[in-house]
């Protein structure tokens, strides 16, 4: 490992930076045939610098290794910035905490860069409340935020629960608008953490690190997507697919992690944070608890990474196209296996009944033989009847002629 170009990248006053993730499209381009593969785009990073003297705060997109500035956005009255890349590198969200001129109140803006489009356009989503958490949907065009205007925010005390609102936004492409639009807001929550499934669609809202609350909410953002189809949704139908699947509670929860397949979720209470009921629990995506294990001095729960698939993109597409046929074949195998199990169960029951009937018949036969033997002995005995005359009273009478 060595310094690239034998020189460092000097940025005066830089506060934070984030590399752009390598998306599936970029990976396909880099792995393509030499004759057909397109030139892969350069690596990209985003960074921000604060307000210095009369210069405004600034967010910059920079390509590397050419070190070319692709886009800059000036920001004013900035308190703090946080950078969030979408995992495919399609969008960059800059959460900007801003203060009023009097610096007595804080509000938030979301500056969303569209990295795949020409000239890197920026959309601004203005919010009145403070945003405490932000999360992109993996491989999707939706994001969720947790916001709050609770006066206790920033100064939590023992037994104080911060009230929050959870909002979902989606990129609306219908009608050529191409803007991020509010799907739905869930008010009066205590959630402070957003955990998307690695495959998108499902999301868990958790209350983490609280001594009084430890709630889990399991949501499905495409609950009725098959009913609505791909048609343009009306104002009433927009956001109607968001459905609560289930709720749970894990006392003292400190960590929430999906498994790589997006089927199950692990919650844990680490002894690194507290020593009350340390252990872990595993849930399915609907919020049903599968297992819970309490263990003293439990520290950490980590899922094994899921290895990359050995199938090509074309094979995966073919499987998706023929999924119903595969499903039908699997259903037939399940039915056959179930019928085999049922046949074995019926045969077992029949065998047990036959054994019972045989045992009962043997018992009846033995009982009958015992009775017949007793009856035969009774017939061989010689019965003698004895008549005994007993004189009870004797009277003599004299007859005179």
> For position 38, what pLDDT does the model report?
63
What is the distance between the alpha carbons of residues 380 and 306, in angstroms, rounded to a whole number?
89
How long is the chain? 401
- The pLDDT of 1-30, averaged and rounded, is 86
What is the distance between the alpha carbons of residues 16 and 18, in angstroms, rounded to a whole number?
7
Share of residues in the chain with pLDDT > 90 (%): 53
> For position 237, what pLDDT does the model report?
65
Give the confidence band of 132 by pLDDT, cuts at 50, 70, 90. Answer: very high
Q: Judge whether residue 226 has pLDDT over 70.
A: no
**Where do we find the tokens 């035969």?**
376
In 3D space, the residue among 61, 191, 52, 207 whose CA is nearest the CA of residue 122 turns out to be: 61
Give the confidence band of 376 by pLDDT, cuts at 50, 70, 90. Answer: low
For the chain, give the mean pLDDT.
87
What is the distance between the alpha carbons of residues 254 and 209, in angstroms, rounded to a whole number?
5
Give the confidence band of 381 by pLDDT, cuts at 50, 70, 90. Answer: low
Model-level pTM?
0.76
Contacts of residue 187, defined as CB under 8 A and 6 or more positions apart, other chains included, come to: 165
- The pLDDT of 314-332, averaged and rounded, is 87
Q: Are 21 and 85 in contact (CB under 8 A)?
A: yes
The alpha carbon of residue 351 and the mean position of all alpha carbons in its chain are separated, in whole angstroms, by: 46
Least confident among 43-57, 136-150, 165-179, 296-310: 165-179
Least confident among 96-105, 237-246, 358-367, 381-390: 381-390
> For position 377, what pLDDT does the model report?
59
Q: Judge whether residue 85 has pLDDT over 90.
A: yes
Q: Judge whether residue 160 has pLDDT over 60.
A: yes
> For position 252, what pLDDT does the model report?
92
> For position 401, what pLDDT does the model report?
59
pLDDT digits 0-9 by tens, 63-74: 988 999 999 999
DSSP assignment of 221-235, as one string? TTTTHHHHTTSPP-T
In 3D space, the residue among 268, 267, 258, 276 whose CA is nearest the CA of residue 299 turns out to be: 268
Query: Residue 235: is it exposed, middle or buried by C-beta count within 10 angstroms (0-12/13-18/19+)?
Result: exposed
Q: Judge whether residue 269 has pLDDT over 60.
A: yes
3-state SS string for 12-80:
CCCCEEEECCCCHHHHHHHHCCCCCCCCCCCEEEEEEECCECCECEEEEEEEECCCCEEEEEEECCEEE
> For position 155, what pLDDT does the model report?
76
350: left (phi over 0), alpha (psi -120 to 50) or beta: alpha
Instruction: Say whether 336 sits in a helix, a strand or coil.
Output: helix
Q: Judge whether residue 173 has pLDDT over 90.
A: no
Q: Judge whether residue 332 has pLDDT over 90.
A: no
Within a 13 Å sphere around the CA of 387, how many CA atoms are in the beta-carbon half? 1
> For position 352, what pLDDT does the model report?
92
What is the distance between the alpha carbons of residues 287 and 251, in angstroms, rounded to a whole number?
15
Instruction: Say whether 124 sits in a helix, a strand or coil.
Output: strand
Least confident among 243-257, 290-304, 368-382: 368-382
Please calculate the CA angle 326-261-215 and round it to the nearest 5 degrees. 130
Give the confidence band of 32 by pLDDT, cuts at 50, 70, 90. Answer: low
Q: Judge whether residue 29 has pLDDT over 80.
A: no
């Amino acid at each position: 490992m060595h310094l690239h170009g034998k020189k460092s990248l000097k940025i005066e006053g830089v506060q934070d930076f984030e590399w752009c993730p390598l998306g599936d499209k970029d990976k396909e381009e880099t792995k393509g045939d030499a004759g057909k593969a397109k030139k892969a785009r350069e690596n990209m990073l985003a960074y921000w610098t604060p307000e210095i003297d009369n210069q405004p705060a600034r967010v910059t997109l920079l390509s590397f290794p050419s070190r070319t500035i692709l886009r800059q956005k000036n920001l004013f009255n900035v308190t703090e910035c946080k950078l969030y890349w979408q995992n495919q590198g399609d969008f960059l969200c800059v959460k900007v905490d801003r203060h009023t001129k009097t610096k007595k109140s804080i509000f938030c803006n979301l500056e969303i860069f569209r990295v795949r489009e020409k000239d890197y356009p920026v959309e601004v989503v203005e919010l009145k409340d403070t945003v405490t958490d932000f999360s992109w949907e993996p491989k999707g065009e939706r994001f969720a935020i947790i916001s709050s205007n609770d006066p206790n925010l920033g100064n939590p005390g023992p037994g104080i629960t911060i009230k929050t609102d959870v909002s979902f936004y989606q990129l609306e492409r219908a009608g050529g608008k191409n803007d991020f639009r509010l799907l739905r807001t869930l008010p009066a929550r205590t959630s402070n953490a957003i955990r998307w499934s690695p495959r998108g669609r499902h999301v868990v809202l958790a209350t983490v690190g609280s001594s009084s609350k430890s709630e889990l909410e399991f949501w499905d953002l495409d609950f009725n997507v098959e009913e609505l189809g791909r048609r343009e949704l009306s104002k009433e139908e927009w956001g109607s697919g968001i459905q609560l699947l289930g709720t749970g509670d894990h006392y003292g929860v400190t960590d929430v992690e999906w498994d790589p397949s997006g089927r199950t979720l692990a919650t844990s209470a680490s002894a690194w944070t507290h020593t009350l009921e340390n252990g872990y629990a595993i849930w399915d995506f609907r919020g049903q608890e599968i297992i819970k294990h309490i263990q003293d001095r439990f520290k950490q729960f980590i899922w094994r990474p899921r290895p990359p698939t050995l199938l090509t993109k074309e094979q995966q597409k073919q499987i998706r196209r023929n999924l119903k046929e595969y499903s039908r074949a699997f259903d037939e195998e399940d039915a056959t296996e179930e019928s085999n199990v049922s046949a074995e169960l019926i045969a077992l029951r029949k065998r047990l009944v036959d054994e019972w009937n045989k045992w009962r018949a043997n018992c009846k036969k033995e009982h009958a033989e015992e009775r017949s033997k007793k009856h035969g002995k009774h017939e061989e005995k010689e019965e003698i009847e004895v008549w005994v005359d007993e004189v009870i009273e004797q009277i003599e009478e004299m007859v005179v002629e």
